[in-house]
Amino acid sequence: MQSSSPAEVHAEDDPYILDVREPQELAQARIDGAHHIPLGELVERLGEVPRDRTVYVMCHVGGRSAQAAVYLEQHGVDAVNLEGGILAWYRDGLPVVLGEG
C-alpha cells in the first residue's frame, strides 16, 4: 500500500481525495472538495470511485483509510493512504472546513 503525507497530497494539482469517515465526523471537520463514501458503504459504492486517476484515501488518523486503500488496490484503483488522516492535515496547517458550514 502506498501512502503520502498531507503536504504531498495538498501539493498535488487537483487531487481526488476520498474521505471514508462517518457523516457525524464530516460535520466536525472536512476538506473542501473531498468526496465522501463511509468505509461501511465502500463495497456497494465501489463504482463511484474513479479508476483513471490516483485516489487519496483519508479518515481521522489513517487506520480506516489504510483498510480502504488496500481494498481499492485489490479492485484496480490506484489508491494512496493519506498518512495521519484529517488530524495530520489539520496539524500541518492545511485548509479544513470546521463545523457544518
Tell me the per-residue pLDDT of 10-52, one tens digit each, with 9 for 90 and over: 999 999 999 999 999 999 999 999 999 999 999 999 999 999 9
* pLDDT(99) > 90: no
Q: Which 3 state secondary structure label does DSSP give 97?
A: strand
Cell of 31: 476538506
Question: What residue numbers bound the domain in which 64 lies?
Answer: 2-98
**Residue-wise pLDDT tens digits, 41-84:** 999 999 999 999 999 999 999 999 999 999 999 999 999 999 99
Q: Which of 34, 39, 59, 79 is catalytic?
A: 59
What is the tally of helices (H) and strands (E) in the chain?
A: 4, 7
Can 59 be counted among the known catalytic residues?
A: yes
Contacts of 51 (CB under 8 A, 6+ apart): 76, 77, 78
- Segment 95-101 mean pLDDT: 85
Give the 3-state secondary structure percentages of the chain, helix then strand then coil, rounded to 5.
Answer: 35, 20, 45
